[in-house]
């Protein structure tokens, strides 16, 4: 039996006063899915009534002491230089867009392989590497679109042909396992044709197929690690979603069309929230529709749908945790009690994951990119929730901040320890997402850098001496090696230059790994079933042994 009663974030709701469903919840085939939906109505501790994400604006983000590939404004009690590569990042992205436009012009004048053998292969790759991550439509829709386009010799400029070219492009780029730069991004010839048609369809706001094309376009840019272009594409999709949801078109949709809209909406939402967090972009308003749009439904116990639902909830949890604990309008706040409750909710989410998407809590290989991505985000949540406690302890170590009571200090130290251990855990598993191109690669680059920078910032910090990992440099060296294959990306290259400077200042001048250095092997999460630190020693990260 697949257990899933508490799989999703308790903040997500499928109750809608705007959208009327033609099918009742009780009629859904999966009782597991029904139980999952019922869980969504429970309120979450600390959830804001309204969203205030002003800290993500460029002007105020600099006030937040969280290291990222883009910025870090170090407070006085952290002996690290601040940095801000925002302008350089946008310069690079704008230039990349210009170059992409030039490539489009060249590719559109060249022949393209549309043989049955090639299109079948790329369809297979699309289903395996995209549709099982983000099931915005079923496999039959994929087949029908390609057959329709092929019947007209791929000459029509309609939404179905656009969808075909974009799914073929995604199939090409998602089967590529190269991490190095290439003269041409895989699938770009198909992508150029899809984008050309999509530009002609830009005024067809009411077309579900056009909306699905926006999702595929944004996803291709994510695979290509072109976040600004991905943002431009997905925000257009988000605007179309909001227009549809406030129109009377919904009343004229049948059940299958409504379901297609719901799937597209949640696909857009997950991509949009990821880019908001990594690019420090201000929200455009889509999250205000979360309470109005039902979650995707499915009639069969399919792992792709379970992953999709798990990803929706975890992304929403991560986004809201940034608002509740640690950051509010550019100010660092500390709420140990709220953090404890949120950690409990995260662990409950894990406990109710279906076996088909459940991942181990240690760093043992899972050989499933979807599970490994969920595991990475799960650990990233504990980093986010514990980071304010790390800052608090570092500030007190320098004689700053108000005096903490013994009980509060104990809780704060425990949460700081979980944060740093989770950083080590994340870096030990990050390479699963950073070997080749995957749906989770873009987010993993940012998260890996943030956790690596966090470990360097806290390395040998006297106030954090109670955390053993702050004295273990092999986590830092391994994290550097994980990111180095992506140094052809300008943003990562600049970030690694900053990392080398920080390592030198921390006494880690030799960044090249030597054969004698230990590597992470099996890393335990350090959390007991209640989401607290384990008191027993169950971790060996020196590669000499596994868990007892």
User: Taking a C-beta distance cutoff of 8 angstroms, is the pair 384, 423 a contact?
Assistant: no
Pairing outcome for strands 83-84 and 71-72: antiparallel
Query: For every residue of 405-460, which 3-state class applies, written as one string?
Result: CHHHHHHHHHHHHHHHHHHHHHHHHHHHCCCCCCCCHHHHHHHHHHHHHHHHHHCC
**What average pLDDT does the segment 534-541 reach?**
35
Q: Determine the pLDDT at residue 518.
A: 42
Using DSSP, state whether 84 is helix, strand or coil: strand
**What average pLDDT does the segment 213-223 reach?**
97
Q: Determine the pLDDT at residue 55.
A: 39
Q: What is the residue extent of each domain of the chain? A: 88-281
Is the predicted pLDDT of residue 484 greater than 70, yes or no? yes
Q: Determine the pLDDT at residue 116.
A: 95
**What average pLDDT does the segment 241-270 reach?**
94
Q: Determine the pLDDT at residue 168.
A: 98
**What average pLDDT does the segment 44-64 reach?**
42
- Predicted confidence band at 284 (pLDDT cuts at 50, 70, 90)? confident
- Predicted confidence band at 189 (pLDDT cuts at 50, 70, 90)? very high
Is the predicted pLDDT of residue 249 greater than 90, yes or no? yes
| Residue whose C-alpha is closest to residue 469's, from 396, 533, 529 | 533
Q: Determine the pLDDT at residue 423.
A: 98
**What average pLDDT does the segment 536-545 reach?**
32
| Residue whose C-alpha is closest to residue 386's, from 414, 367, 405, 344 | 414
**What average pLDDT does the segment 506-528 reach?**
54
Q: Determine the pLDDT at residue 184.
A: 77
- Adjacent-strand bridge partners of 83: 72
Mean pLDDT (the chain) is: 81
pLDDT in tens, 127-159: 999 999 999 999 999 999 999 999 999 999 999
Least confident of 93-107, 223-237, 241-255, 521-535: 521-535
Q: Determine the pLDDT at residue 206.
A: 87
Q: Determine the pLDDT at residue 5.
A: 36
Is the predicted pLDDT of residue 401 greater than 80, yes or no? no
Least confident of 48-52, 231-235, 274-278, 362-366: 48-52
Alpha helices in 127-226 (DSSP H): 139-151, 159-174, 188-200, 208-223
Is the predicted pLDDT of residue 111 greater than 80, yes or no? yes
CA dihedral 348, 352, 357, 362 (to 10 degrees): 40
pLDDT in tens, 420-434: 999 999 999 999 999
Query: Over pLDDT 70: what percentage of the chain?
Result: 76
Q: Determine the pLDDT at residue 521.
A: 40
**Continuous segment of H or E residues that includes residue 83:** strand 83-84
Task: Tell me the DSSP string of 197-208.
Answer: HHHHTTT-TT-H
Is the predicted pLDDT of residue 326 greater than 70, yes or no? no
**What average pLDDT does the segment 331-349 reach?**
80
CA distance 486 to 363: 22
Q: Determine the pLDDT at residue 6.
A: 43
**What average pLDDT does the segment 156-172 reach?**
97
Is the predicted pLDDT of residue 312 greater than 80, yes or no? yes
């Amino acid at each position: 039996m697949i257990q899933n009663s508490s799989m999703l974030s308790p903040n997500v709701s499928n109750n809608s006063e705007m959208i009327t469903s033609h099918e009742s919840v009780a009629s859904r085939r999966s009782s597991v899915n029904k139980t999952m939906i019922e869980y969504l109505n429970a309120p979450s501790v600390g959830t804001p009534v309204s969203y205030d994400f002003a800290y993500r604006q460029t002007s105020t983000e600099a006030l937040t002491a969280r290291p990222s590939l883009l910025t870090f404004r170090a407070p006085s009690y952290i002996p690290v230089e601040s940095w801000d590569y925002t302008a350089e990042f946008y310069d690079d992205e704008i230039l990349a867009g210009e170059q992409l436009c030039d490539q489009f012009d060249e590719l559109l004048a060249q022949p393209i392989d549309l043989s049955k053998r090639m299109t079948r292969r790329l369809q297979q790759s699309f289903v395996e590497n995209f549709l099982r991550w983000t099931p915005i439509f079923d496999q039959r829709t994929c087949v029908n679109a390609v057959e329709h386009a092929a019947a007209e010799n791929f000459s029509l400029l309609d939404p179905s042909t656009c969808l075909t070219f974009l799914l073929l492009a995604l199939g090409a780029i998602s089967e590529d396992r190269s991490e190095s730069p290439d003269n041409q991004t895989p699938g770009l010839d198909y992508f150029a044709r899809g984008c050309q048609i999509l530009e002609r369809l830009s005024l067809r706001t009411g077309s579900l197929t056009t909306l699905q094309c926006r999702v595929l376009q944004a996803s291709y840019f994510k695979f290509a690690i072109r976040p600004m272009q991905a943002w431009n594409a997905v925000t257009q999709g988000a605007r179309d979603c909001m227009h549809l949801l406030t129109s009377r078109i919904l009343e004229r949709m049948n059940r299958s069309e409504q379901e297609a809209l719901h799937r597209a909406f949640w696909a857009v939402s997950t991509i949009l929230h990821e880019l908001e967090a990594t690019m420090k972009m201000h929200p455009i308003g889509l999250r205000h529709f979360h309470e109005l749009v039902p979650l995707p439904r499915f009639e069969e116990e399919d792992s792709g749908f379970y992953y999709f639902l798990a990803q929706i909830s975890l992304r929403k949890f991560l986004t809201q945790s940034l608002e509740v604990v640690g950051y509010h309008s550019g100010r660092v706040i500390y709420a140990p009690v709220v953090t404890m409750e949120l950690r409990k909710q995260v662990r409950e989410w894990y406990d109710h994951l279906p076996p088909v998407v459940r991942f181990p809590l240690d760093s043992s290989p899972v050989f499933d990119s979807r599970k490994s991505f969920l595991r990475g985000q799960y650990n990233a949540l504990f980093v986010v929730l514990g980071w304010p406690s790390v800052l608090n302890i570092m500030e007190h170590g320098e004689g700053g901040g108000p005096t903490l009571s013994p009980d509060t200090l104990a809780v704060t130290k425990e949460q700081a320890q979980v944060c740093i251990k989770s950083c080590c855990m994340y870096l030990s598993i990050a390479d699963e997402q950073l070997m080749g191109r995957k749906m989770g690669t873009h987010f993993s680059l940012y998260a890996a850098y943030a956790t690596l920078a966090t470990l360097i910032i806290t390395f040998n910090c006297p106030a954090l001496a109670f955390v053993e990992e702050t004295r273990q440099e092999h986590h830092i060296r391994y994290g550097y090696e994980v990111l180095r294959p992506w140094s052809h990306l300008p943003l990562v290259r600049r970030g690694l230059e900053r990392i080398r400077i920080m390592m030198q200042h921390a006494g880690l001048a030799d960044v090249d790994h030597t054969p004698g250095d230990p590597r992470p092997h099996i890393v335990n999460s350090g959390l007991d079933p209640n989401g607290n630190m384990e008191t027993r020693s169950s971790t060996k990260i020196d590669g000499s042994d596994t868990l007892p």
